[in-house]
Amino acid sequence: MAEIALQEVGTYGFASLLPPLLAIGLAIYTRQVFLSLAAGIWLGHTILSGWNPAAGAAAAIDGAIGVLGDAGNARVIIFTFLIGALIATVEANGGMRGFVRWVEEARWVTNARRAQIMAWLIGIVVFIESNLTILVAGSVSRPLFDRFRISREKLAYIVDSTSAPVCILIPFNAWGALVLGILTEQGVANPLGVFLVAIPLNLYAVAALILAGLTAFRGWNWGPMKKAEARTRDGRLHWDHAVALADPDEIAPPPAEGVALKPRNMLIPIAAMVVSMPVFMWVTGGGTIAEGSGTTSVLWAVLVGLALAWLLALGQRSLNLESLSRVGLKGAGALTGMAVVLWLALSLGDVTGSLGTGLYAAGIVGDTFPLMVLLPLVFVVTGGIAFATGSSWGTFAIMLAVAVPLANALGLPPAPFVAAVLSGGIFGDHCSPISDTTIIASLASATDHIEHVRTQIPYAIVAGGIATAGFAVVGALM
**57: phi then psi, degrees, rounded to nearest 5:** -65, -45
Q: What share of the chain has pLDDT > 70, as a percent? A: 89
What are phi and psi for residue 440, nearest 5 degrees?
-70, -30
pLDDT at 271 over 80: yes
The pLDDT value given to residue 254? 66
Q: Given a cut of 80, is residue 220 above it in pLDDT? A: yes
What local confidence, expressed as pLDDT, does residue 245 receive?
60
Lowest mean pLDDT among 16-20, 141-145, 359-363, 467-471: 359-363
In terms of Cα–Cα distance, which of 342, 30, 348 is closest to 181? 342
- The pLDDT, as a whole number, for residue 184 is 81
Q: Is the pLDDT of residue 149 over 80?
A: yes
Residue 252: the pLDDT is 53
The mean pLDDT of the chain is 83
Most confident of 34-43, 173-182, 363-372: 34-43
CB 267 within 8 A of CB 99: yes
Q: Which residue has the higher pLDDT, 366 or 177?
A: 177
Which pTM was predicted?
0.74
pLDDT at 344 over 90: no
Query: What pLDDT sits at residue 4?
Result: 32
